[in-house]
Structure 1
Amino acid sequence: MSGQPLTVFQVAGRAMTAQLVRMNTTASNLANAGAVTNSAETAYKTMKPVFRTQIDRASGLATVDVEKIVQAGDAPTKRYDPANPQADKDGNVFEAAVDESRELVDMMETARAYQNNVEVMQTAKQLVVDTLKMGR
């Protein structure tokens, strides 16, 4: 990073953006839980963001960004269900291996992290306002 030092607002904003990506991937995972298809290749795979932390040399503050989104988790579950319209020629379907409990925990953790950054921004804003009032 170069140029002007980062502010606490920029750091918290980047963290909120990263958590929003995490929330969206978690929501997508939950929305696709139980989805079936006729092959392991086309079955939904759980997605997870990979975060990258950097230290801003000018301010000494750490920022976080989403580096990429990767597929994670177990392979799809093969199940014999010849009555299912998605079944392959052998009567098998492949169900997305989404761990709904883990995804719900991730969603709660993400919401907490996002809220913590909202509070950081609110506190920083109040400190700026209070500092400006001191000059009156």
Structure 2
Amino acid sequence: MSMFSIFGVSGSAVSAQSQRLNVVASNLANADAVAGPDGKIYKGRQVVFETVLMDSQASAGVKVSTISENQEPGKRTHNPSHPLADAEGFITQSNVNPVEEMVNMISASRSYQNNVEVMNTAKTLLLKTLQLGQ
């Protein structure tokens, strides 16, 4: 693997983690959402990664293959005074678990930071290599 392919591998990981952070942000923004009159609620989403070969080199990167929806039912709370309550007086909330999403966000953020650090280290090594020739 050449030094230049490191940028492709880390760049693909940074891009994938950026998409993961966007999905987590969307999940957290809708964590307390309540079902509307049509009965549809926000369902938590998860990013699914896939390994991808980088060009013709012997290195592999990562990409987002799909974003899947969590199929678990939403939390039902008895609140007959709520304007969106059903005939039995229950409201259905999103199935997003904010604690799990915060852990997911921290993990994605650290992975993003680590890949940026890998690119910075590779850049520094390449610059030092160029300075050897002076």
TM-score (norm 1): 0.87
Give the superposition deviation at 1:92: 2.0
- Name stretches of at least 5 consecutive residues in structure 2 with no aligned partner: none
Q: Deviations over 1:61-108 (max 9, x none)?
A: 110000010102631122221111121233221111211111111111
Inter-CA distance 40–18: structure 2 relative to 1 (3 Å threshold):
farther
In the alignment, which residue of structure 2 is the partner of 1:134? 132
Between 1:66-75 and 1:52-61, the stretch displaced more is 52-61
Match of 2:105 among 90, 104, 107: 107
The 1:130–1:73 alpha-carbon spacing in structure 2 relative to 1, beyond 3 Å, is: farther
- Give the Cα separation in 1 of the matches to 2:71 and 2:99: 13
The aligned residue for residue 13 of structure 2 is: 15
Letter in 1 for 2:87: K
Say which is worse superposed, 83-92 or 14-23, in terms of deviation: 83-92
Equivalences, count: 131
State the shift of 1:125 in Å: 0.4
Structure 1 equivalent of residue 30 of structure 2: 32
Rounded to whole Å, the distance in 1 between the matches of 2:39 and 2:66 is 21
Shift of 1:39: 6.3
Q: Distance in 1 between matches of 2:105 and 2:47?
A: 13
Identity, in percent, stands at: 39
C-alpha root-mean-square deviation of aligned residues, in Å? 1.8
When you count strand as a share of all residues, which structure comes out higher?
1
Q: Deviation per CA, 1:12-66, whole angstroms, max 9, x where unpaired?
A: 1110010011111111111111211146851110101110012347322110000
Q: Which amino acid aligns with 1:111?
A: S
- Distance, in Å, in 2 between the alignment partners of 1:27 and 1:48 is 11
Work out whether residues 37 and 84 of structure 2, in 8 Å CA contact, stay in contact via their aligned partners in 1: no
Q: Is the 8 A contact 1:12 1:118 kept in 2?
A: yes
The whole-number CA distance in structure 1 between the counterparts of 2:50 and 2:37 is 33
Q: Distance in 2 between matches of 1:73 and 1:26?
A: 16
